Amino acid sequence: MKLVWFRNDLRLHGHTPLTEALATGEPVMAVYCLCPAQWDAHQVAPLRRWYVLHSLLELGDALADKGVDLHVLECDDFAGVADALTTLVQEHGITALYCNREYPLNELNRDRAVADTLRPLGVTLNGSDDGVLVPPGALRTGKGTPYTVFGAYKRRWDVWMEHQPPAAPASPNWPAGKGRFVGRQRVEQALAAIDLPVRLTDLWQPGEQAALTQLARFADKSLAGYRQQRDFPALDGTSSLSTALSAGTLSVAACYRAAMQAMADAGARDGAACWVGELAWRDFYRQIMARFPRLARGAAFRPETDLLQWHDDEALFQAWCQGRTGYPLVDAAMRQLVATGWMHNRLRMLTAMFLSKHLWIDWRRGEAFFMEHLMDGDFAANNGGWQWSASTGTDAVPYFRVFSPVRQSQRFDPDGKFIARYVPELAHLDNKTIHEPWKQPLLAPDYPPPCVPHAGVRERVTERFKQAKADY
């Protein structure tokens, strides 16, 4: 018997471990390890749990339809996974385990423990890298070190993709008959324990089928205009596929192929190329996470920036969390996050930079707050995005990158439509005043004045970073 272990790859399409296991012609079963205490320890957002559990239900039913059993094992946290899998392996006479590799530290330690336990039992382990387009470690600088600057990484990444594009997925060799979904009830119970308003869950569609439909819709309607539209949060200009990609209900190879297909149309070429660049960012942060495990322990990527003395003002932090900083676009973004479980990329950069540079609050607090709310919460992308924004990370341009919250608002939400959607107390203002309501305080009496001034931020930040560098 062969065993396929599903983790953040909750799909049937483009799933190498599943295809390889089925290709052996031997009986195949599948497993998923439910680790709620692991989710608790890492403040995984309830909405993300909801998405994963629903997607798991869809996966279990789909596998059963294809004749493969799925067993859901309750493991509490990662520490319990090796024992639970060992019991399953012994009960079913499993001779080989197939799964996709995961690169963050806890996942690596979990998998090492599983390998150490199963190898002596004669179980062969087969890892694939469907979670990325280019596996971590595949691209190295001339000195043999990992790439730490995106521009240089992307140039090599493009060459790799040109020569080794993802192969078209093979059709799995499904067995005859119907499979069983063992533990379905446990998944339903875990779902029932998540208390979320319907207005929130109604916004999203979990599962592989919804993800594939969304990809097709995006490729058809928005990909061509992606470069022009992607920075404007009031528009539906990006794919909203981040949750599907991070939970693996959608394969990144399917996204890449969709972009390549779109490129056949000259009108869509530029937008598709731009979008592929975002898939490269995703790979980039995954290889950073894999090569620098200290990041998973909360360390800054640039060690000297761990000397920065943050001022964790609780009132300012709460103002940021609640969308009451007095800067309309920052507040609209934070309210979008809490109200929907998602935030537009430009606004993630803006709010992260605002917290770490204007409010001078430790970026780790913002990183954790994002994880508590994001449905697409993904350790590598979130940590990478936060450290980039706080200038403690891989940004090639150092700490003098400071977004002006007003200028960003005027440029990327020129009509104030996005602000009006999430900050209703400003919705009646004209498209000039809405970016700086403090200039007409009588018109927006319920809205707070700016909690800190923008003037002087760049100078203060520059000085503090220089000092940290000198002290290091």
Cα distances (angstroms) measured from residue 160 to each of 113, 114, 137, 146, 147:
32, 32, 13, 15, 14
| By the rule CB under 6 A, 345 interacts with ligand FAD | yes
81 with 110: CB under 8 angstroms? yes
Relative to beta strand 96-100, strand 124-128 is parallel
Relative to beta strand 69-74, strand 96-100 is unpaired
| By the rule CB under 6 A, 230 interacts with ligand FAD | yes
| C-beta of 98 vs 284, nearer to ligand FAD | 284
Half-sphere exposure at residue 75, Cβ-oriented, CA atoms within 13 angstroms:
24
28 with 55: CB under 8 angstroms? no
- Active site annotation includes 281: yes
| By the rule CB under 6 A, 362 interacts with ligand FAD | no
Identity of the residue numbered 361? I
| By the rule CB under 6 A, 245 interacts with ligand FAD | yes
Which one of the spans 121-129, 281-289, 308-316, 457-465 is the region binding ligand FAD (CB under 6 A)? 281-289
Query: Among candidates 130, 144, 136, 74, which has minimal Cα distance to 105?
Result: 136
Phi, psi (deg, nearest 5) at residue 308: -65, 140
Q: Active site residue: 50, 157, 204, 281, which one? A: 281
User: Looking at residue 165, what DSSP letter applies?
Assistant: P
Residues 378-407 contacting ligand FAD, CB under 6 A: 378, 381-382, 384-386, 389
| By the rule CB under 6 A, 240 interacts with ligand FAD | yes
Asked whether residue 171 is marked as a ligand-binding residue, the answer is no
| By the rule CB under 6 A, 296 interacts with ligand FAD | no
Cα distances (angstroms) measured from residue 322 to each of 72, 315, 346, 362, 369:
37, 11, 19, 17, 11
CB of 113 to ligand FAD, least distance (A): 26
Q: Active site residue: 106, 160, 174, 278, which one? A: 278
Query: Among candidates 16, 6, 281, 223, which has minimal Cα distance to 130?
Result: 16
Instruction: Say what angle helices 363-373 and 379-390 make with each other, to 10 degrees.
Output: 150
- Active site annotation includes 278: yes
| C-beta of 70 vs 211, nearer to ligand FAD | 211
CB of 76 to ligand FAD, least distance (A): 24
| By the rule CB under 6 A, 276 interacts with ligand FAD | no
Return the residue of 232, 285, 360, 465 that touches ligand FAD, per CB under 6 A.
285
Return the residue of 352, 402, 419, 457 that touches ligand FAD, per CB under 6 A.
352
CB of 419 to ligand FAD, least distance (A): 18
How far, in Å, CA of 393 to CA of 194, rounded? Answer: 34
How far, in Å, CA of 174 to CA of 337, rounded? Answer: 41
CB of 325 to ligand FAD, least distance (A): 16
Asked whether residue 158 is marked as a ligand-binding residue, the answer is no
362 with 313: CB under 8 angstroms? no
Identity of the residue numbered 302? R
Q: Active site residue: 102, 363, 382, 383, which one? A: 363
| By the rule CB under 6 A, 253 interacts with ligand FAD | no
| C-beta of 187 vs 250, nearer to ligand FAD | 250
What does the block give as tokens for 60?
């279990």
Any bridge partners for residue 32, and if so which?
6, 72
Which one of the spans 207-215, 317-325, 369-377, 428-436 is the region binding ligand FAD (CB under 6 A)? 369-377
Cα distances (angstroms) measured from residue 188 to each of 138, 191, 196, 210:
40, 5, 15, 20
Return the residue of 6, 281, 418, 422 that touches ligand FAD, per CB under 6 A.
281
Name the binding residues.
226, 238-242, 275, 278-285, 376-378
Chain contacts with ligand FAD (rule: CB under 6 A): 230, 238-242, 245-246, 278-279, 281-282, 285, 345, 348-349, 352, 370, 374, 376-378, 381-382, 384-386, 389
Binding-site residues from annotation for FAD: 226, 238-242, 275, 278-285, 376-378
Active site residues: 278, 281, 310, 345, 363, 386
